[in-house]
Amino acid sequence: MKYRLSEEDFEKVFDFSVKYHLDPQKSSTTRTAGSARGLGGVLDSFMHGKLIEIGVAHILSSLSPEKELITDFDIKKTSEAKDDPDIVSVMEKGSKRGPNIYVEIKNISLEDRYVGMTVEQFDTAKSIAKGEIYIVGAYLSNEKVYGKKERDALGMYLKKRINNPLLAGFANMSGADVVIDYAISGKELETNGIKFLSESLFYETELFTDPGPQAIKLIERGDIPRVLVGKDIKLDLYMQNPGHKTPEFMGPLEIVGQIEIFEKINEKSLRRYIRCISDVKITSSSVGEFLLQKGKIYLFNMTTMGRNPFLDRNNLWIAKRNIPFLQKKGLISGLEDNLLKIATKI
């Protein structure tokens, strides 16, 4: 589901960001690193996220037209700032009231691997929520295909407002959409989520990927030895970096179909590859379902994410790619169902 952003939406967010920056009570450093932050940093911090909140609120309001859902555009004193939900009030029947449920709106990327909240965020939400908790993930898109840099919210806004050829490469503001990717309840997160503690590894969830032409050539030439042929088996986990702990939460990986496994051992790394003798389905209760094609070779991609793969917060997460699998099993409601629940209950 999506909402087409208006010029007024962009203006509202830009005005808020500038007023926030100029407010003498607001710090000119970032909250986490403590580094200096100017107007550009404030605009970059707020524009994308606030546009996402506006879009989600409009989509939810369209599902319950008698309600207008209001996001937070008040500039509070630092001492008054608190962990409010992202929809802070509701206009209904001519009067304003507080929300009946807690909605957390996440500004996400389609490349995100996990869905959820930090443990501290989730515990805070539970302590102040009047009713249920819902988490909605949405991203900024455009009617034309643009890269991530070209879809930058501030870039789109400046292109419209400033006649400068340097800005021509940005997407048009008039084609900007907020698209909702997922919506889950706090109960669904708590029931199906996995707790990843601070200092644990940030694991990749796309486990079967393109191995690259060189690996395919080596396998077909026989230079990477075959170590197993199996049908309808459980696939053992491993790590490409032998010094990293194996993510036991991902197992067992249940295979339906016939495969060959090839293994390349280097001095400091290990690679396993799968060649599908038949069409293959691989399932995991924590990372979902993978459909592999007969005759293709895949890298069994057991690795971590990012340059520093160690988490700095405690997190309660569901693998994003596992959501359709959990929905199929009836453990998580569908996107439209959960959005309608939010719009009705709020």
Q: Cis omega (within 30 of 0) on the bond before 252?
A: yes
Give residue-wise pLDDT tens across range 94-135.
Answer: 999 999 999 999 999 999 999 999 999 999 999 999 889 999
Domain boundaries, the chain: 2-199+334-345, 208-300
pLDDT over threshold 90, residue 144: no
pLDDT > 90 fraction of the chain, expressed in percent and rounded: 85
Q: What is the pLDDT of residue 30?
A: 56
pLDDT over threshold 60, residue 32: no
Give residue-wise pLDDT tens across range 302-345.
Answer: 999 999 999 999 999 999 999 999 999 999 999 999 999 999 99
Q: Name the more confident of 275 and 76.
A: 275
Tell me which residue of 90, 63, 54 sits closest to 178, measured CA to CA. Answer: 54
Give residue-wise pLDDT tens across range 251-285.
Answer: 889 999 999 999 999 999 999 999 999 999 999 99
Tell me which residue of 47, 16, 19 sits closest to 151, measured CA to CA. Answer: 47
Q: What is the pLDDT of residue 26?
A: 74
Other C-beta atoms lying within 10 Å of the C-beta of residue 137: 25
Q: Are 203 and 304 in contact (CB under 8 A)?
A: yes
Q: What is the pLDDT of residue 264?
A: 97
Q: Is the pTM of this model over 0.85?
A: yes
Torsion angle defined by CA atoms of residues 143, 147, 148 and 153, in that order, rounded to the nearest 10 degrees: -50
Mean pLDDT across the stretch 239-250? 95
